[in-house]
């Protein structure tokens, strides 16, 4: 054999050895990988089960029971507050009606005082016309005019106080009405947020557990494709033996230096022909194995990706849990603020009512003076005949005084009743409010605590749902490693195709060179065939022996088909 041909064969042997080691290493790594993959499939199932258990544990039943107990007690407490506020509002509205009636009486007192002032002016004029006889009466009428003026001034003050008091009552009424509306919304919203929040959360947990439980059962479907991949690994021993046959065959071309050059070339061509056939079988097996295992891996990846997509969509849906608790804290602050404003307004009203009472006392004092002046006027007229002309005026004074007495008396009685009732209601409201302030503050703080627990429960559920996994990270990494190993096998298959092509070129060169050498014939073929027969006796795969037998025209002993040779 020429040096160039010999170097080519040596290079082929070296590269076949290298490729054989790479293929064997890859198959062995796959053989080690897939049992681990099966184990990780079981680990993934356990992980999914643990995740489901964590989701179910994430909702603390005691928190829900605590909320239910709190809502039951808070409902009674807030109901009593609202009833008390409604009762006080009714009293305030009644006070507004009384003040409106009082305003009418005060208007009559003012009108009577103005009329009295006019009458006193007329009486004073008549007294002045009477000369010295009317001097005493003029003093009386002058005092009457001053008292009338003071009465008008007091009624103006009372009127202003009444209007201010009316505005205060209306303001308090507005506060209490606003408070009543807020109380109704406030507690109902808190109830809905807490009770509905925990119920909704429990529903989402059950929904997630059901969806993830279904996904977990489907996730076990990767086991069959994985077992299919493991079966494909078992062809490795056949591939190794087959490449060994090619290497053994190529080495034979160097082992008989006694043969002629033509014999050597003819034998080399036959060995190359056998090697091409064996390598084609190896290439087909690798290609079929890669395709089959790739299909199984694609099946695994398809299952994993499909389930992972559904898992993520389930996570997104189940994570869509209302995180807000409304503006409960803000409403609580507004509620407490309105309670404080109502109490402050009630206390202010109490002070205004007492001030109004003092004003009516002053009016009653002026009324007494009116009555004294009227008596003095009648005495003076009876004593002085010259004043008989003002008797009608005195009669008018008496009538006006009686009207004033009646109106002031009515106003005083109404005021006393009003003061008694309003003061009692305001005082009672004040006392109840003081006793409830601490309980109310505690109730609001408890609400905020329960809202905080609801928020924490939502966060725990979100975290548990978001952390749910169908497959362990190790499982996903092993799948990626398996795919990478198949890519390497495809690369080795391509290398074997190139080596097979080079061996085919070796065959053509050896055949062409042998044809250029004279001699040989039947003896040459016999020698070649005998060498082939002896060589293939060391083959371990029957089909390769049969291939050599066809090439060398000799029979081989019956054996086991290559497809029945297994590694495991």
Q: Is residue 327 part of a domain?
A: no
Query: In this predicted structure, what is the pLDDT of residue 14?
Result: 92
Question: H/E/C letters for each residue in 507-550?
Answer: HHHHHHHHHCCCCCCHHHHHHHHHHHHHHHCCCCCHHHHHHHHH
Q: Domain check: are 169 and 89 in the same one? A: yes
Spatial separation of the C-alpha atoms in residues 207 and 389, rounded to whole Å = 104
Query: In this predicted structure, what is the pLDDT of residue 483?
Result: 85
Q: Domain check: are 141 and 174 in the same one? A: yes
List all residues 6 or more positions away from 163 whose beta carbon is below 8 Å from its beta carbon.
Answer: 103
Give the end of a domain, one of 395, 430, 464: 464
Q: Domain check: are 498 and 542 in the same one? A: yes
Is 256 strand, coil or helix? coil
List all residues 6 or more positions away from 297 whose beta carbon is below 8 Å from its beta carbon.
Answer: 225, 229, 479, 482, 483, 486
* CA within 13 Å, CB half, 95: 32
Q: Domain check: are 513 and 435 in the same one? A: no
Q: Domain check: are 354 and 206 in the same one? A: yes
Long-range contacts of 493-498 (CB under 8 A, 24+ apart): 493/283, 493/286, 493/287, 493/290, 495/15, 495/19, 496/19, 496/279, 496/282, 496/283, 496/286, 497/283
Q: Domain check: are 73 and 185 in the same one? A: yes
Q: Domain check: are 339 and 207 in the same one? A: yes
Backbone CA torsion sign across 243, 249, 255, 261: negative
Spatial separation of the C-alpha atoms in residues 116 and 148, rounded to whole Å = 6
Q: Is residue 328 part of a domain?
A: no
List all residues 6 or more positions away from 242 whose beta carbon is below 8 Å from its beta carbon.
Answer: 278, 279, 281, 282, 285, 541, 544, 562
Q: Domain check: are 257 and 318 in the same one? A: yes
- The pLDDT profile of the chain, 568 residues, written as one tens digit per residue, is 566 777 888 888 999 999 999 988 888 888 887 778 777 777 777 776 776 676 666 565 666 666 777 777 777 777 777 777 777 777 777 766 776 777 777 788 778 878 877 877 777 777 777 666 667 777 777 887 787 788 888 888 877 887 787 787 778 778 878 877 777 677 777 777 777 777 777 777 777 777 767 777 777 777 677 776 666 677 778 888 888 888 888 888 866 777 777 888 888 888 888 889 899 999 998 898 888 888 888 887 888 888 778 777 777 766 555 544 455 556 667 777 777 787 787 777 777 777 877 877 787 787 787 778 777 777 776 776 666 666 777 777 778 778 877 887 777 777 777 767 777 777 777 776 666 666 777 777 777 777 777 777 777 777 777 777 777 788 788 888 888 888 999 999 999 999 999 999 988 888 888 888 876 554 555 656 777 777 777 777 777 777 767 766 667 666 544 444 433 2
Query: In this predicted structure, what is the pLDDT of residue 18?
Result: 93
Q: Is residue 329 part of a domain?
A: no
Q: Domain check: are 311 and 344 in the same one? A: no
Which two three-digit tokens encode residue 346?
A: 């009630």
Spatial separation of the C-alpha atoms in residues 356 and 378, rounded to whole Å = 33
Q: Is residue 531 part of a domain?
A: yes
List all residues 6 or more positions away from 498 whose beta carbon is below 8 Å from its beta carbon.
Answer: none
Spatial separation of the C-alpha atoms in residues 435 and 439, rounded to whole Å = 8
Give the end of a domain, one of 464, 486, 516: 464
Spatial separation of the C-alpha atoms in residues 503 and 257, rounded to whole Å = 21
Q: Domain check: are 298 and 382 in the same one? A: no
Chain-centre distance for alpha carbon 383: 99
Query: In this predicted structure, what is the pLDDT of residue 522?
Result: 47
* Partner residues linked to 325 by β-bridges: 327
Spatial separation of the C-alpha atoms in residues 54 and 49, rounded to whole Å = 9
Range of the domain at 7: 3-59+223-322+469-564
Q: Is residue 528 part of a domain?
A: yes
Buried b vs exposed e over 533-546: b needs ≥16 C-beta within 10 Å?
bebbeebbbbbbbb
Query: In this predicted structure, what is the pLDDT of residue 563?
Result: 44
The answer to whether 479 touches 301, Cβ cutoff 8 Å, is: yes
Q: Is residue 144 part of a domain?
A: yes
Spatial separation of the C-alpha atoms in residues 449 and 31, rounded to whole Å = 58
- The DSSP code for 400 is H
Q: Is residue 409 part of a domain?
A: yes
Which two three-digit tokens encode residue 525?
A: 């073929």
Give the end of a domain, one of 464, 495, 511: 464
Q: How many domains does the chain have?
A: 2
Length of the chain: 568
Query: In this predicted structure, what is the pLDDT of residue 492?
Result: 92
Query: In this predicted structure, what is the pLDDT of residue 501?
Result: 94
Q: Domain check: are 457 and 479 in the same one? A: no
Q: Is residue 330 part of a domain?
A: no
The answer to whether 63 touches 457, Cβ cutoff 8 Å, is: yes
Which two three-digit tokens encode residue 85?
A: 């506020």
Which two three-digit tokens encode residue 301?
A: 């990846």
Q: Domain check: are 100 and 148 in the same one? A: yes
């Amino acid at each position: 054999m020429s040096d160039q041909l010999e170097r080519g064969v040596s290079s082929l042997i070296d590269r076949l050895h290298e490729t054989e080691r790479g293929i064997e290493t890859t198959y062995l790594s796959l053989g080690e990988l897939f049992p681990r993959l099966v184990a990780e499939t079981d680990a993934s199932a356990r992980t999914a089960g643990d995740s489901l258990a964590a989701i179910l544990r994430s909702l603390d039943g005691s928190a829900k029971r605590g909320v239910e107990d709190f809502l039951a007690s808070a409902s009674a407490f807030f109901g009593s507050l609202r009833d008390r506020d409604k009762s006080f509002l009714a009293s305030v509205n009644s006070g507004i009606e009384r003040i409106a009636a009082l305003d009418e009486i005060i208007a009559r007192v003012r009108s009577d005082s103005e009329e009295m002032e006019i009458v006193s002016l007329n009486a004073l004029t008549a007294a002045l016309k009477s000369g010295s006889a009317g001097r005493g009466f003029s003093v009386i009428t002058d005092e009457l005019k001053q008292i009338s003026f003071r009465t008008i001034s007091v009624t103006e003050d009372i009127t202003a106080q009444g209007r201010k008091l009316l505005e205060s009552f209306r303001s308090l009424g507005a506060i209490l009405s606003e408070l009543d509306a807020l109380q109704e919304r406030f507690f109902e919203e808190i109830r809905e947020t807490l009770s509905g929040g925990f119920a909704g959360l429990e529903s989402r947990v059950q929904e997630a557990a059901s969806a993830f439980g279904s996904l977990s059962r489907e996730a076990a479907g990767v086991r069959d494709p994985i077992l299919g991949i493991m079966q494909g690994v078992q062809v490795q021993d056949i591939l190794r033996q087959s490449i060994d046959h090619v290497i053994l065959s190529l080495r034979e071309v160097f082992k008989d230096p006694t043969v002629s050059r033509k014999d050597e070339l003819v034998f080399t061509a036959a060995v190359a022909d056998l090697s091409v056939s064996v390598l084609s079988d190896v290439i087909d097996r690798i290609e079929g194995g890669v395709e089959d295992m790739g299909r199984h891996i694609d099946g695994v990846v398809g299952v994993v990706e499909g389930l992972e997509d559904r898992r993520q969509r389930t996570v997104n849906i189940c994570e869509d849990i209302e995180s807000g608790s409304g503006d409960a804290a803000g409403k609580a602050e507004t509620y407490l603020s309105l309670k404080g404003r109502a109490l402050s307004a009630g206390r202010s009203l109490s002070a205004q009512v007492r001030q109004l009472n003092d004003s009516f006392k002053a009016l009653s004092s002026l009324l007494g003076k009116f009555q004294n002046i009227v008596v003095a006027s009648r005495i003076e007229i009876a004593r002085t005949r010259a004043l008989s002309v003002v008797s009608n005026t005195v009669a008018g004074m008496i009538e006006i005084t009686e009207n004033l007495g009646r109106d002031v008396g009515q106003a005083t009685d109404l005021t006393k009743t009003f003061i008694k009732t309003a003061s009692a209601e305001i005082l009672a409201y004040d006392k109840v409010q003081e006793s409830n302030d601490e309980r109310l503050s505690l109730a609001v703080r408890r609400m905020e605590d329960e809202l905080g627990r609801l928020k924490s429960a939502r966060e725990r559920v979100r975290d548990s749902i978001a952390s749910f996994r169908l497959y362990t990270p190790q499982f996903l990494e092993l799948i990626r490693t398996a795919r990478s190993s198949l890519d390497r096998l495809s690369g080795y298959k391509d290398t074997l195709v190139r080596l097979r092509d080079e061996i085919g070129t070796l065959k053509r060169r050896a055949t062409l060179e042998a044809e250029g050498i004279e001699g040989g014939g039947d003896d040459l073929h016999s020698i070649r065939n005998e060498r082939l027969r002896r060589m293939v006796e060391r083959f371990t795969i029957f089909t390769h022996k049969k291939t050599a037998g066809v090439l060398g025209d000799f029979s081989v002993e019956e054996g086991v088909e290559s497809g029945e040779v297994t590694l495991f």
